[in-house]
Structure formats: C-alpha cells, structure tokens
Chains A and B, each alone.
Chain A
Amino acid sequence: MAQLTVNNQPMEFRLEPDTPLLWALRDAANLTGTKYGCGSGECGACTVIIDGQAMPSCTLSLGEAEGRSVTTIEGLSPDRSHPVQQALVSEQAIQCGFCTPGLVMTAAALLARNANPTDADIAAAVTNICRCGTYPRITQAIQRAGRILRGEERGVPLPAPQTATTPGL
C-alpha cells in the first residue's frame, strides 16, 4: 500500500511497494499518457513531475514515491493550454508522438524554474530520446513556450481535447 498525491488527488495503490511508479500510474490508475520506453530511466518517455522536479517514473518505486506529489501529463492542463503543449504543436515538433508526453513534462518543469532558458539550459535539461529526429524543433518550441509563458507572445489555442477514442471500442 502506498499513499501519494497524483494530479492533486490523494491516491492509495494496493500494489507491492517495489512496483515502479510508471506501472502503478499506467496499469492501476489508468493514466496511460506516461509511456514505457526503456525501464531504466534513460529515454525520458515516462517522465513525470514529482514535487516540482521532472524525473523518470520507471525507476522510482511506489515505496519511494510514498507521500509525494506526482503530476502526470494528464494533470498538466485540462485543455492542452500549457505553453509547452501549444508551442510543440505550433512548431510541429512531434512526429510519432511517443516521446512527447515525457518531453512535455521535462520542458514544463524546466520552464517552471527558469522561464527564460538559454539553448544550453534546454540542452542540459532535455535528455529525452526522440528517434524521429525532432530535436531542432524542440529547442525552438521550448523557447517559444518561454515567450508565451512570459507574456511576450500570444499562445496558440489548440482544439479542445475530445474523449480519446479507441478503434473497436
């Protein structure tokens, strides 16, 4: 049993304490936006924000997450309105989209502590792996998100999220 706060909701997981947070989120809490890519904290696809810090959820056990406050991609904004989300879409810095949720969380945590990062700050903070090759656009998108956050540029509203539909269901 582990009690923690997920997206501002208190949650109790009836799982073994050695279960990585990633699988508790995905398979018990049904928060599937957080992706499995490597299981060893290298790729960043499973990045969530824990007490303000972006970290991989695949190498943190439920026991270690006890009492902490976790924000997943589902809890970042209700309507895709976070500046990072707006900027990634408007720069088309996404291809297959599998690394994107983790990348959004990494960039959001970076901007939360440094609203005006340099390219070097971005390169140091964003160690997420993207195999499609969107890196050049990611730097531009995070810079743009910073400008939106600082009020220097207008945001780009995205279509309101619809309930995710799965073919066949």
Chain B
Amino acid sequence: MRLTRRGLLIGAGAGGGLLLAFRLVPRHYASPLVARDGADAGERVFDSFIRLARNGDVSVAVPFCEMGQGIATLAAQIVAVEMGADWKRVGVEPAPVSPVYGDAVLAARWARLWLPLAPSLADRPGDVLARLHAEREPLQITAEGTALAAFEAPLRDAAAAVRAVLAQAAAAQWGVGWETLDARGHAVTDGKRQIAFEKLIPAAAGFDPPDPPVLRPEPPREKPGAFPEGARPAFPRLDLPPKVDGSFVFAGDVRLPGMVHAAIAMGPQGDSVLASYDRKAAADIKGLVGVVRAKRWLAAAGTTWHAADKALKAMDPRFKAAGRIADSSALETRIDTALHKGTPRRILAEGDPDALLARPSLDVRYDVEPGTHAPLETATCTARLEEGRLELWLATQAPELARRAAARAAGVALRDVVLYPLHAGGSFDARLDVRIASQAAAIAKAIGRPVQLMWSRWQESLGSYPRTPVSAQLSAAMSPDKQRLLGWRARLALPATAIEWGTRLLGETSMPRAKAAAQGKPDPMACEGALPLYGIPEKAVDHIPVDLPLPTGRLRGGAHGYTAFIVESFVDECAHFAGAEPLSFRVGMLSGQPRLVACLQGVARMAMWGGGADASGQGIACWKLDLEASEGPRSGFIAVVATARQDNGAIRVDQLSAYADIGRIVNVDIARQQIEGGLLFGLAHAIGGSTAYASGLPLAARLSQLGLPLLADCPKVDVAFADSTEQPFDPGELGMVATAPAIANALFSATGARLRRLPLLSEGF
C-alpha cells in the first residue's frame, strides 16, 4: 500500500483486488474492526471508501445511516461516475465507525451544541476545531443533510485515484500517456480500444495515483429537464430489489444462534423510575427466558417476542415519578405563562422593531403541539456479548454514541464494542436516540444470551422524545397606507430544545441532566428560521426559554418545522391585511433572493396559481434552508402551492405542487422522492402527527390516532426542480417545511378561517 500526500492509500486488496483507503493522518487511530475469519479469509478491513474485487465488482463504503433517503445510492453514484464504472457492477457496504468519516460540516453546524461557550471558533467546516472535533469524537452522525457537503469531494477524490491507476496500467500496455485515456463502462479506453477494469487490476496496484487527484471536469449532475416525472432513472436505487421481496435485513431480522427476543416497558414520559412488578405473575408463561430490571425500565426475554411481551404485561410493571411527568395541561399553562410574563431574550435582529410595535397593526398568537416521529419500524437492536466482546446490529444515526452507550451499559471497554450499521425503517430523527443500544446491551449481559430487543408500538409512542411544543406571539407594523411591512417581531416561548437534545446526545447524559443543562438558556438553534428572509426594515426574534416537564428531541426539519409554519402563515396574514395578492406581496420583499423568487414563480406556473382569492382554496408558502460547507454557505429553496378545502369537518388537501432549487442535482429521481416524501410528511404533520400527554402517557399512541394520511388521502403531487449549477443542497428536510403553511393559507382561502395551531385539525375545525 502506498500513500499520497493527501492521505489516500491505494494498492492490492484482498484476493488480488484493488483497495482505496484513507490513511489516518496526521494522528493515529486504532482501526475499529479486525479481519473476519471464515469464507472471506485473508480479507482485511480498512477504513476505505472503495474496494475493487478481482472480478471488477466495485464496493463503496457508506458512512451514513440509510433511512430511506437514498444516500447509499448517491454515494455509490458519485464514485461510479467519477470512476467510469458500470452501474450494474457497483454495490455498497456499511462503513464502520472511524475518524476518517468524521463530519466537519456537521461539527460546524452543531458547534453551539459541543462548544457552547465559543461556537464562533468552530462554526465553519474549515475551522481546525471543527475538523478536530469531527475526527476525535469521531462525529459520525447522519443528520441535517450534511452528507453531500461533507463527503462528495472525498468520494470523488477516491474514485479519481482509482481511475488514475487503472488508466496508468492501460497506458503502460498501449505505450501512451495515461492522461489521454478515459474510463467508461467499466473499461479504460483511448476512444478506439478498450481494456476492462478487471484485466487492469493486478497491474494497477503497482502505480501511484497523481496527487492531487485529477478529477473529471464536471461533478456528477443530472439535469432535471432530462428526467421528467416517470422517466427511467439513469442510476436506479441499489437498495430496492432486496427491499421488495422481504430479504432485506433490518435490525429485527437478524437471527443469531441461541438468540432470545426481548420486550421492554418504560415509564411514563418524563422523569419516572420503576417502582414495582409482579415477577411471579409471569412464572407460568411459556417461553419466558428471563426478566431484567433497570432504574427506568423492566424487560422480559422469551423464545418469541410475543412470549416476552406477554410476560411483561403479566408482571404489570408500575412506575413512580422521580421528577416531573409530562402532562399537556401543565405544559400549556407553563408555555402560556412564559409567553405572557416570561423574560424575552433577543436572539437575532436587524434593526429594532420594538418602538414600531408599541401599537402593532397585527398581533396574533400561534401554537404548535408536540410532534411525533412515528417511524414504521419501532426501535430495535440485536446484541451479543460473548467473551468480553459486544456486538450490536442496529440502525442508528449516531453509531459512535450508540457504541459508547452500549459499552457503558454492559461494562465493556469501548474497543470491544462492534456496531454493524443497518438501514432504518424510517427515522425522521427518532434514531438519533441511542437508548435502545444500552438497553439491549444490558439485557444481553443480564440474560447471558444474544438478545433482540424490539420496542412495541406503545413503547415507541411512550418513550420517544417528541419535537417541542411552541407558542409564539407574532407582531407586525405596517406602513400607514397599509401596503408595506415596516416592523416584525416573533416572540417564541419554548424550551431550549436544541441545547437539550444536543446535550443529551453529544454530552452523553441522561434526560433529566440534559433538561437541567438547557434550563433557562436562550437557544438560537431552537428559533432558527423565525427571522424572516423578507426585506423588512426592523425585525427581531425573541426567545423565552420555558422549562417543560416534557423531554424534547429533534424531528425532521428541526426548528424550521415550526418556524416556517408560523412565519409563512403570518406573512400571509400581513398580505391579506394589506389587501395584497400573497405571491406578489412576498416577491415585493424578496429583492436579493432571485433563487427563491424563481421558485415562487415556478410553482405559480405549475399550480396555475390564481392569487388565492375568491375562496379558490389555493395557498402558497416558500422557504430557504442554509448549510455552511467548507467552500461557503449552500442553500436550498422551495415554494409550495396547496389546494385544500374543508370536507365534513375534515381537512382535504387535493393538490400539492412544489418547485425546488437544490442546486446541482446528483440524482433527479432520488431528489424527487425526497421532495415528494417531504411534502407528504409535511401534510401528515399539518393535519396530525401529534399527541397530548396525560400523567406522562401519550393520548395518541396508536398509529391510527395520529391522523396520518393514507393512500386514499393522498393529494395529487407535482414536483419540479430548477436547473442549477450551484452547490448541491440536501432535499430531505426542504420538502417538509413549507407544506403546513401552504395548507393553512389554502384553508384560509377556502373558508376565511385562519388556523393558527398546528396540527390544523386540533382547533376543532
């Protein structure tokens, strides 16, 4: 193996193949994996991006959690395009946790969470502190759509290095300069002749790739116009064939010799601990293998999951409060009191609107109820502890933190914990929570057998940390002629939720401690998006931190999931106050935002926007998301038009149209999937996806109580993309955020009623 100055290792791999890895420079880290025995004897595991087998098959290591967003396919496509590989011969494998996959973009994005005293030292991915933190932790977390910003360049570098040594091998045979050769269709070619990759591999291992790597002139790019809806994708998703016949292995499908199944009972939401249970009541249940208790839960293991669950129920575990327990009436009182009497902290401002707002033109309140993730797959982890070595099969967005949690729970050294990353059956950020790993590890240790722990749906609803509730007072000052917005203030009462979940996750601390750490702190991340993009002379965002008994977590879209609803609904109110058409009212305040204006105009054309007047039932909303990457900020833009109506007391959404600008698009159909899926996720959270709590128990615990849309409720969905060469932006969260306000604005058009509470149905509409 030889090493380039940029830290790429390349050389002969297992069985005569070719391997491209990253040297861990300049620091030394122990490799998390050792070679496995058996069928693949002789294979060594590296922190690699690309493996080329002797027969030419390519395998790309994917350091992200695939949750359905198609990131595994995107990573493989970036490599295939840069290498000139045949898509039919490209596969993926999960990458182990390793410093080489440390995500400096996410480290910078979350600088406030791990460096709260001086986040500005590390809030750009190029900052040394961000880089160091990403590698040392290692911060290998799938969240906030950072994958392309962090890993497209290294994936391309790696693929270009492989292409270069293959071209050098061909050039030596032909006696030409390798720079004149190209790679296409899994072969190196000079335009007339070609040699297949597999024939070049043995010789290629002897060449050195150029340093820096010589990239193709163009990064991978699909023009949206070339892939209209329904067009055959050039790079179909790799994970779909095994997902369609049940052979795809999720965490609950792992089967180990001697494995038992476990069910768990956690206490009411909030600070609760196990008080008592009737061990004898489970004695006669056939298939029961063992019972494990911990401070906050009781688990039973059995020969089937049903046996374990039945035993657990028979034991009737009782919990008692050790601190505060979630209760919706108490939550609402606290938020209400804070909004009216709390001390606001100014988070962000341009100018100072307070004087203008002494007598506001508009002054209204918005409320957002707790939001639940409700992924279809419940939290599941398979664990085996043998001879001091703990293995975990788990789908997690934070594999390193899951390893550490499991190591602590089982009393095993971190180096003896191996995590095999699996795909998640949906997450929406529910799998940022790593408790399942420590529970499974503790049960495996106590029972002394491999165990598969699966949360029941009830436990998933009870135990998951929802998105925070929010109440906001929105105030606007219009010009005397009522035509222009002069002042704007958003005053948000909510817990310091980002500090809370950030501390719980990155600080690896318990829920009560994380809540204590967040208490009373102003939290800019929790208020993101509340300062509108619009050109308003005086505008400000205030945060009133509330200490709620309900633990809160991140949900797809983050703070934008509620701020977009509040801001884009209130802008609509201002437009109506001005007697203006909502689209032109927005565009009039968006000078300097040509990409967002183009989205608004694009969606207006697609949806045949009629201005939303005359009870047309049309509503519009737009949004922008930003991400700081190493080359500077990247942005994604979206505008949504919803057509909605009231139908026998229910909300019926007939159509959702979206026009998005996500910069250069690597894979149009995957981007379309993400925007479509985001629109429907946004629809679900506009009309449901929320629960109240009584004595810590969720009142909407069954999926059917969440008001989630079914196929029969699915509107007609149209998605179009701007053709752009800007840096790519992840579409995963963008599709969701502008949907709820577009629907609320559509319902105002349809009915004249302004719905200021999310979900919209909760107003008894």
Contact = CB atoms under 8 A, between A and B. Distances in A.
B521 interface: no
Contacts of B426: 96, 98, 131-132
B323 interface: no
B425 A96 contact: yes
Contacts of B70: 95
Interface string B683-719: 0100000000000000000111000111110101100
B680 A135 contact: yes
Contact of B244 (A36, A80, A128): A80
B381 interface: no
A7 to B, nearest CB: 11
Interface residues of B, number: 78
A77 B245 contact: yes
Contact of A166 (B93, B254, B676, B678): B254
Nearest to A135: B714
Interface residues of A, number: 72
Contacts of B303: 27
Interface string A142-169: 0000000000000000110110111111
A29 B199 CA distance: 45
Nearest to B669: A92
A38 B245 CA distance: 21
Contact of A96 (B230, B377, B714): B377
A161 B709 contact: no
Contact of B243 (A45, A97, A126, A159): A97
B245 A76 contact: yes
B457 A39 contact: yes
A131 B428 contact: yes
B679 interface: yes
A131 B374 contact: yes
Contacts of A85: 244-245
Interface in B145-189: none
A37 to B, nearest CB: 5
Given A38-B457, A97-B68, A168-B420, A123 B425 contact: no
B283 interface: no
A161 B673 contact: no
Contacts of A127: 710-712
A159 B252 CA distance: 24
A101 interface: yes
A28 interface: yes
Given A39-B456, A161-B247, A97 B304 contact: no
A89 B166 CA distance: 33
Contact of A100 (B237, B243, B305, B427): B243
A42 B710 CA distance: 11
B375 A131 contact: yes
B256, B303, B377, B428: most-surrounded residue (chain A CB, <10 A):
B377
B376 A96 contact: yes
Nearest to B735: A133
A88 B702 contact: no
A74 interface: yes
B350 to A, nearest CB: 36
A138 interface: yes
Interface string B617-644: 0000000000000000000000000000
Contacts of A133: 676-681
A168 B673 contact: no
Interface of B: 36, 67-70, 93-94, 230, 232-233, 236-237, 239-250, 252-256, 261, 286-287, 303-307, 310, 374-378, 391, 393, 418, 420-428, 454, 456-457, 669, 673, 676-681, 684, 702-704, 708-712, 714, 716-717
5 contacts: A20-B306, A89-B236, A97-B239, A140-B230, A167-B421
Interface of A: 15-16, 18-20, 23-24, 26-28, 30-40, 42-43, 45, 72-74, 76-77, 80, 85, 88-90, 92, 94-101, 104, 122-124, 126-140, 158-159, 161-162, 164-169
Nearest 4 A-B pairs (CB), nearest first? Answer: A33-B246, A98-B425, A96-B68, A133-B680
Given A74-B245, A95-B69, A135-B711, 14 more contacts: A23-B304, A23-B306, A26-B305, A31-B246, A36-B454, A43-B703, A92-B240, A97-B423, A123-B714, A127-B711, A129-B703, A164-B247, A167-B94, A167-B420
